[in-house]
Structure 1
Amino acid sequence: MKRLAVVGTGYVGLVSGTCFAEIGNQVTCCDIDQSKIDLLNKGEIPIYEPGLKELVAKNSEAGRLSFTTDIGTAIQDAEVVYIAVGTPMSETGEADLKYVRAVAQTIGENLNGYKVIVNKSTVPVGTGKMVEEIVRSASNGAYEFDIVSNPEFLREGSAIKDTMQMERAVIGATSEKAAGIIEELHSPFQTAIVKTNLESAEMLKYAANAFLATKISFINDIANICELVGADVTKVAEGMGLDSRIGPKFLNAGVGFGGSCFPKDTTALLHIAESAGYDFELIKAVIKTNIRQRETVVHKLKNIFGDLNGLNVSVLGLAFKPNTDDMRYAPSVDIIHAITEEGASVKAYDPVAIEEAKKQITAPISYYTDVYETIQNTDVCIILTEWPEVLSLDLNKAKELMNKAILIDGRNIFSLTDVKEKGFIYHSVGRPQIQ
């Protein structure tokens, strides 16, 4: 059992801290946001993640997990301090490290003995060294400490499973002693351990996310070609995925990637490359394809209707993926803004992301938590998130409720045979159109 302080109660910090408590550690999650800490102390979770509320309650009641704004005391009491604050994209595209710097300063000011300082945030190469310099300066070199880069690989919607059954733990450390402490901390997870230096660990997270983003952009470009030549991207992807060198994951064509990681990390990696004097043309294409892919939905809409002015549109799904309320870089935001600017009116469905969506969607649209209320009296339905309620949509009922039986499926959730039998005009991604 170790005493941990996790600074930052966002997605990464809260999930990681809770899971470390679950395996028997004493964890204090801390944040400067009093309202967040107040919610957590009441047992309320500021983010949506399946199973997290129950796990927080279980470990809080067991006395292994606590929440505070007293970051200094939490640091002083801890053996291991995790930095898990946000690193948002700056205007230049690089990761904004102001929160990381602030935490490093606080750690240095409260250093009262040897500690392992672990960066859990996604940060560019060189951040570990920067944190080391800030802590040493702020502590006047009074105590020894080590820096570790231990990037997270959580998927929103399955983050607890991804932690408790993690595929690998990457440990980039400034000493063997620190690496051993973090390896021991991860031993209950029974996961593969990759030990390396700080720089390699920092680069690894960006490389992994950029590669997955590349797979998505690649299959979306293939999908666009499929539409032009009469091929079916789902069959193309199925055949590709059976090749063990490629694999089936991240080969689902659609409206592009969103969320807190892929858009931010691909852009940050591009900035890292440019700063190092390397022209990373491949990642530029990945980013360009992803932006363009969102426009295909709008183009399909215009190809069907021409003028969008006065068109009644229903949108099923606002979050960038199911089982999360995360609206960061969600395709729905760009698509809704584009079609409302053309004069369309929008009714939007999402079971959990509506409050987050309202913060990002400035267009005057209507929000619903019932699928069938959303599609009623609309001229066309656009599918953007494959929520269970959307996957199980009764097409016969939908056809009765809609003004026109027209579907634009940005996630390819329906079979071409089914929609044809039900009499829908159906446009999906990378598959033949049903007229």
Structure 2
Amino acid sequence: MQPQRIGVVGAGYVGLTTAACLAELGHDVVCADTDTAKVEALASGEIGLHEPGLRELVVKNAHRLQFVTDTAQAMSDVDFTFVCVPTHVVESVVTAAPPDCRLVLKSTVPAGTAAKYPGVVSNPEFLREGHAVEDFLNPQRIVVGAQDERLAREVAALYETTGAPVVVTDNTTAEVVKYASNCFLALKLSYVNTLAELCERLGADIDGVTEGMRLDDRIGGSCLEPGPGWGGSCLPKDTRALLATAAEAGVEFPTLEGALTTNGHQPRRVVDRVRAETGALRGKKIGLLGLTFKAGTNDLRESPALKIAELLGQEGARLTAYDPCVTGDLDGIEVRTSAVEAARDADVLVVLTEWPEFAELDWPELAGHTATPVILDTRGVVPEDKVTEAGFRLVRTGR
């Protein structure tokens, strides 16, 4: 396909990634956002998101990537306009579009939304925070839904240089694919977290269990790492949304309800293990390593680390923390500029985010600064041999 003129409405996480990556694929893109300060920053190559490779793409493709504050510019004189705004404002954007505007919904919307608007194409995103650029440019699949198959295939052709398999279907089916995918991941994560708890009770090792599971092609290797619970902007929202959709349709979905219940249990389980190491938490100093909901992002939305911190604070613990992408104190948490400072005089260190750099910390130095050299690793990221050699006692999820 020849390069197309593309409009993108919304310069948030999905919108900015979409705009920059479509420009990288050779299309001319105008990206609109009502936040003037954000647009000015983007025009100068500065982005507020921590997303590997994204700033480089914005700078590299500046000659075919324009940022504006007038949404009409992203809907006029373009071949397609991608809508990448929060769910609650999608309808206002769609209804404000000129009649000849060919809209493509990237936003995650309730099933049946696009079908209400003739000519609108559904093209859900499958971007992992921390891997968004990689996922966009090397997608596992492209899903496009529309009432007009010809129009759907024109949208699919925008991605043809990626070589990804294409699923062309109707709008509602495409919308359900997004929810079904995310909710399946939520189910899988909740399942492995419960397995980890079972392993602790039985004296088994979750790492060995999941190693044996991964070799089964029917199961696959992804989302089998136990942790303190799942969070972020997508999985919690999408599981609740699919449950609501099922309820409206008169369909019971106990497996998905169970995944949410299991996930809600995880922060309390971590706090119980911290208490088992320190005794009563009141007055104890807890050093937290990691605050974002996952590594590779500065996103704190529905982070299990923050829920755990809240519960620890409610029991009177004093909290210090270090995260490579978080600066400035948070409610009840003194955020430090290094792991050493977070560990100073701590009664226990708790690893809550799987930042790779946590595997390379100077463990003897950290041990020398703690009041009690104990680490609770909820992510399985720290090297057992190095931390124990440094004098720490290591407690890990699933053991």
How high is the TM-score relative to the length of structure 2? 0.96
- Matched residues in 2 for 1:268 and 1:386: separation? 27
User: Could you tell me whether the CA contact under 8 Å between 1:122 and 1:151 is conserved in 2?
Assistant: yes
Return the offset for 1:221.
0.5
Tell whether 2:304 aligns with 1:331. Answer: yes
> Alignment partner of 2:45: what SS?
coil
> Aligned-pair distance for 1:73?
2.7
User: What CA distance in whole angstroms lies between the structure 2 residues aligned with 1:353 and 1:80?
Assistant: 36
Check the 8 A contact 2:153/2:168 in 1, yes or no: no
- Pick which of 382-391 and 270-279 moved more: 382-391
Structure 1 residue identity aligned to 2:33: D
SS of corresponding position for 2:76? helix
Q: 1:76 is paired with a residue of what secondary structure?
A: coil
1:39 corresponding residue in structure 2: 41
Is the aligned partner of 1:196 residue 2:169? yes
Judge conservation of contact 1:151–1:201 (CA < 8 Å) in 2: yes
Q: Is the 8 A contact 1:318 1:354 kept in 2?
A: no
Are residue 343 (structure 1) and residue 343 (structure 2) matched? Answer: no
- The answer to which of 366-375 and 316-325 deviates more is 366-375
How far did residue 419 of structure 1 move?
4.2
Q: Deviations over 1:310-366 (max 9, x none)?
A: 1111100111111100111111111111111211111110111335xx5xx422x21
Give the structure 2 partner of residue 135 of structure 1: none
Report the Cα offset of residue 418 of structure 1.
Answer: 4.7
Secondary structure (helix, strand or coil) at the match of 1:178 reads helix
- Secondary structure, aligned partner of 1:43: coil
Please show how residues 350-369 of structure 1 align to structure 2 within 5 Å: 350-354=323-327, 361-363=330-332, 365-369=333-337
> Aligned residue for 1:48?
50
SS in 1 for 2:252: coil
Contact conserved, 1:172 with 1:195, CA < 8 A, in 2? Answer: yes
Q: Percent identity?
A: 41
AA at the equivalent of 2:96: T
* 8 Å Cα contact 2:228-2:305 kept in structure 1: no
- Alpha-carbon offset, residue 123 of structure 1: 1.1
The answer on whether the counterparts of 1:84 and 1:120 sit within 8 Å (CA) in structure 2 is yes
Structural mapping, 1:208-287, within 5 Å = 208-287=181-260
Matches within 5 A, 1:83-98: 83-87=83-87, 98=88
In the alignment, what sits opposite 1:101?
Answer: 91
Match of 2:366 in 1: 398
Q: Which amino acid in the other structure matches residue 298 of structure 1?
A: V
Match of residue 178 from structure 1: 151
RMSD between aligned alpha carbons? 1.4
Q: Deviations over 1:188-208 (max 9, x none)?
A: 111110011111100000000
Report the secondary structure of 2:168's partner residue.
strand
- The alpha carbon displacement at 1:417 in A equals 4.9
- Counterpart of 2:357 in structure 1 is 389
Residue 72 of structure 1 is matched in structure 2 by 72
Give yes or no for contact 1:5–1:74 (8 Å, CA) kept in 2.
Answer: yes
Task: Measure, in 1, the Cα distance between the counterparts of 2:255 and 2:360.
Answer: 38
269-278 vs 175-184, which deviates more? 175-184
Q: Which residue number in structure 2 is paired with residue 149 of structure 1?
A: 122
1:408, CA displacement in angstroms? Answer: 1.0
Tell me the secondary structure at the aligned position of residue 373 of structure 1. helix
Larger mean CA deviation between 395-404 and 233-242 belongs to 395-404
Whether the 8 Å contact between 1:169 and 1:193 is mirrored in structure 2 is yes
| Match 1:116 to one of 82, 94, 102 | 102
Structure 2 CA distance for aligned equivalents of residues 404 and 413 of structure 1: 20
Instruction: Give, in angstroms, the shift of residue 402 of structure 1.
Output: 0.8
Once the two structures are TM-superposed, the CA of residue 130 in structure 1 deviates from its matched residue by 3.1
Q: What SS does structure 1 have at the residue aligned with 2:47?
A: coil
Aligned residue in 1 for 2:397: 429
Q: Is the 8 A contact 1:4 1:26 kept in 2?
A: yes
Paired residues of 2:379 and 2:397 also in contact (CA < 8 A)? yes
Q: Please give the per-residue CA displacement for 1:144-164, whole angstroms capped at 9, x wherever unaligned.
A: xx2111000111111111111
8 Å CA contact 2:281, 2:315 repeated in 1: yes
Q: Structure 1 residues 77, 251: closer, same or farther in 2, change over 3 A? A: same
> How many matched pairs?
397
Structure 2 stretches lacking a partner, 5+ long? none
CA deviation after TM superposition for structure 1 residue 415, in Å: 4.8
Encode CA deviations 1:162-205: one digit per residue, 9 max, x unaligned.
11111110011110221121121111111110011111100000
Equivalent pair of 2:278/2:347 in contact (CA under 8 Å): no
Please give the alpha-carbon distance, in whole angstroms, between the structure 1 residues aligned to 2:392 and 2:324.
25
Secondary structure at 1:194's aligned position in 2?
A: strand
Within 1, Cα distance between the matches of 2:166 and 2:134?
17
* Residue pair 1:172, 1:198 contacting (<8 A) in 2 also: yes
Tell me the distance in 1 between the aligned counterparts of 2:73 and 2:278.
62
Which residue number in structure 1 is paired with residue 17 of structure 2? 15
Is the CA contact (8 Å cut-off) linking 2:373 and 2:393 kept in structure 1?
A: yes
Alignment counterpart, residue 309 of structure 1, candidates 262, 282, 285: 282
* TM-score, normalised relative to structure 1: 0.88
